[in-house]
Structure 1
Amino acid sequence: MEDVVTELETALEYQLDDKDIVQDDMGPFEEDGSLDDNVEPFLSHDDTGPSDPVGHCTDVSKDGKLLASGGHDKKIVLWYTDSLKPKTTLEEHSLLITDVRFSPSMPRLATSSFDKTVRVWDADNPRVSLRTFFGHSAPVISLDFHPIKDDLICSCDSNGEIRYWSINNGSCVRVFKSGTREAHLVRFQPRHGRYLAAAAGFIVLILDVETQAIQHLLHGHTQPIASVCWDPKGEYLASLSEDSVKVWSFISGKEGMCIHNLSCNENKFHFCVFHPSYASLLVIGCFQTLELWNMSENKTMTLSAHEEIIAGLASSTVAGLVASVSHDKMVKLWK
């Protein structure tokens, strides 16, 4: 475990820069100074105070070339990951940004907001939004692109209503109401797109995307679920509450089984994402720190990362990087 942890720590510590090259065989890196020396943060905006944090949600484009961040200032900033410089700022939403997601197959970006709308943008030329979806009667909390059907996007509002939208037609094609009247965190199963994970309260609903039938109800959390994420292959789902993280199998014959469980000792959990290069590693955002959880050995290590709560994490399997966004108004890249 010590050798593996050393390798993982260094891989996450390296800034994304032209001079930093990841070894093709993923062998151990040499130690090269402190965490602050090896991670280059970039500040989003200077016109927001600590009580109005920029850092709320983030995503990395699938090719790893762009990063999007959004928050309470009602803006989405697109960054070039190679230069750590902003590409543009998107300012059409009228209230705080709740979620940002890149399409897995096209240069598209989708954003949701407390203003009850979902907007779709051309990531290459995002001067104005391509589509604005109206129909939610409450703030939109979460959204996602289908991994195979380029035309399909889903969103969920704070009343628990999930809407499926056609990007080409600009219309709502389906509505699912869970009856819980709670906000759902929605994420399509990568690669396959057969399932939609919708977490609300203490439960994760696994919906069949075609039929909208509930295939699984994942129970076990004793605190409200704050984050859900799939591994890149769509074989495992992680669900996180402030006191625990659970990993569920979606391999044939073991669907819906909880195979890993981690309890919080001191620092409350806030967000999680599977590491893009290590299948058995989950990255967990806490207050000021990142927890690296080696699930196969059930061991963790802690990295100092931010000055406030880590509110969002994203990863790119192509670039092998992890992005973290925090209420300290900083976005950081780790490689």
Structure 2
Amino acid sequence: MDPLCVQESLPVPEGGGENVWSSDRLSQIPFQILRGHRGAVSSCHFCCQDTKLLTSSHDQTARLWDLSSCTSICDYGGEHTAPISQCSPTQDNRRMVTSSYDKTVKFWDMETGKVLGSVNLDGLVTSCNVSGDGRLVGCSVDVDNAVYIIDFTTASKVQHIKDQHTSTITRCCFDPEGQRVCSVSSDRSIILWDMIAQRTTIRINGAHGNVISDCSFSNNGRLLCTASWDKCVKLWDVNTGEFRHSGPNTLLHGHIGSVSSCIFSEDGSILVSGGYDKRIIMWDVNSACKKLVLKGHTDWVLDVALSTNKKWILSASKDSTLRLWNIENCEEIPAVIENKKAIGPRHAQCEECQKPFPIMHWDNTNVTHKCVFCRLSAPSKDTDHLPPVPPTVSTPV
């Protein structure tokens, strides 16, 4: 389908997506609407090599969807007795965890839909996250503003982290190595807990001007992004601690309301955020500027996900629907091109002379890896990528 084409949405049966691609009139990005949940959709994920979608809802169920047909293929229900706050799949996509306001965490076999185990906790479970190796589960609970670390195999509690926050923890997540747990809270602070030393190694008080609603690590573990009700997303270099001297990178001029979720792309070049302003925003991490704004949900966007191949964005909303956005050709639409021009050039290091040189955001970095002087000195290698040389005009004597 032509990404610039605009089509009207058609009626859709329960449990499926639109049978045609529609297009956001402002962003010109094709999308499909997925319906099936009967309550706010609290979290969403891509899984099974971007062929499946996993979601959870306040309707007390989780669902597995087929991406190609946008239809629900498995319903994980009948176990929780209150809204599910979050779901988190293991990296091999064979199992998942769900957390709920019924004060339980449940472990599922994704293929059979059976519950493998259940853990009762002291209070409402506000979030859950599985470590990269699938061994541990981190859960945040409103009682004692605590985080529990649970062994996935035995369903036993191995660590109880409390007295770190002064108010409800909204989200917790593991770093890619599974050695640290980050928790964020309505007390506006960020805590990084070392699993080996069993102590807090980084504490950032007053990290935002309002409740911090979400946190997520980049795949290399260097950057941490946080989303807040203060309408901002912030990037923290937690690997080198650079934020202690220069502060975080703040992503501004995007959301016009509270930000509810944020996540990095696999390569860390893109960040996607969703907010209570019903918007999804795609950001360029290097320039800390927005690339694209997606609109269409009729209520708060509670969670967002980005496929590994960066072709799809999935958004979950309080309006009980999901939207699957096809961003494969987004670099070609006017809105993105204009934002790139506003950002201006970025800099790369020439692989030959080692000097920095400017690259516009629409340049192909796989091709443009040398400065113009080094490319001109070796025309045989890069002739195809250089601008045409104007013909020499002789001047009559």
What TM-score range do you get, normalising by the shorter chain? 0.7 to 0.9
- Of 195-204 and 227-236, deviating more is 227-236
Is residue 2:107 matched to residue 1:124? no
Is residue 2:212 matched to residue 1:221? no
Paired residues for 1:98-113 under 5 Å: 98-113=85-100
2:130 to 145, 158, 161: 145
Is residue 2:223 matched to residue 1:233? no
Deviation at 1:36, TM superposition (A): 7.2
Higher-Rg structure is: 2
Closer, same or farther: CA 267–62 of 1 in aligned 2, 3 Å: farther
Query: What amino acid maps onto 2:139 in structure 1?
Result: S
Query: What amino acid maps onto 1:248 in structure 2?
Result: W
1:298 to 288, 291, 307: 288
Is residue 2:206 matched to residue 1:251? no
Q: Deviations over 1:208-265 (max 9, x none)?
A: 0122210101233110101111122222111111222111013346376744112457
Deviation at 1:202, TM superposition (A): 0.3
Query: What amino acid maps onto 1:290 in structure 2?
Result: I
Query: What amino acid maps onto 1:284 in structure 2?
Result: S
- Number of the residue aligned with 2:324: 333
1:195 to 163, 172, 180: 180
Q: How many pairs are equivalent?
A: 300
- Number of the residue aligned with 1:54: 40
Deviation at 1:306, TM superposition (A): 1.4
Is residue 2:84 matched to residue 1:94? no
Deviation at 1:183, TM superposition (A): 2.4
- Number of the residue aligned with 1:23: none
Closer, same or farther: CA 211–39 of 1 in aligned 2, 3 Å: same
1:317 to 290, 300, 308: 308
Q: Deviations over 1:179-211 (max 9, x none)?
A: 525224110012x12211111120010110122
1:272 to 237, 250, 261: 261
Closer, same or farther: CA 280–133 of 1 in aligned 2, 3 Å: same
Q: Deviations over 1:73-126 (max 9, x none)?
A: 111121112221111111110000101111123511110000000011111221
CA distance in 1, matches of 2:29, 2:304: 21
Deviation at 1:68, TM superposition (A): 1.9
CA distance in 2, matches of 1:85, 1:64: 14
Query: What amino acid maps onto 1:280 in structure 2?
Result: S
> Would the aligned equivalents of 2:40 and 2:58 in 1 still touch at CA under 8 Å?
yes
Structure 1: 5+ residue stretches without partners: 1-8, 11-15, 21-31
Deviation at 1:154, TM superposition (A): 1.6
SS for the counterpart of 1:267 is: coil
User: How well do the aligned residues superpose, as a CA RMSD in angstroms?
Assistant: 2.8
Paired residues for 1:164-175 under 5 Å: 164-175=149-160
CA distance in 1, matches of 2:269, 2:258: 18
SS for the counterpart of 1:221 is: coil
Closer, same or farther: CA 94–68 of 1 in aligned 2, 3 Å: same
Closer, same or farther: CA 266–105 of 1 in aligned 2, 3 Å: closer
Query: What amino acid maps onto 1:281 in structure 2?
Result: I
Is residue 2:294 matched to residue 1:308? no
> Would the aligned equivalents of 2:216 and 2:264 in 1 still touch at CA under 8 Å?
no
SS for the counterpart of 2:296 is: strand
CA distance in 2, matches of 1:218, 1:288: 29
Closer, same or farther: CA 278–302 of 1 in aligned 2, 3 Å: farther
- Number of the residue aligned with 1:42: 34
- Of 200-209 and 230-239, deviating more is 230-239
Is residue 2:54 matched to residue 1:68? yes
Is residue 2:70 matched to residue 1:84? yes
Where relative contact order (Cα < 8 A, 6+ residues apart) is larger, the structure is: 1
SS for the counterpart of 1:210 is: coil
> Would the aligned equivalents of 1:275 and 1:322 in 2 still touch at CA under 8 Å?
no
Closer, same or farther: CA 156–268 of 1 in aligned 2, 3 Å: same
CA distance in 2, matches of 1:115, 1:230: 28
Closer, same or farther: CA 38–152 of 1 in aligned 2, 3 Å: same
Q: Deviations over 1:256-314 (max 9, x none)?
A: 67441124576213333334266333212122222222243333242223121111112
CA distance in 2, matches of 1:33, 1:252: 40
Q: Which runs of 4+ in 1 moved over 6 A?
A: none
Q: Deviations over 1:30-78 (max 9, x none)?
A: xx99567711111124xx4xxxx33222222262222222222111121
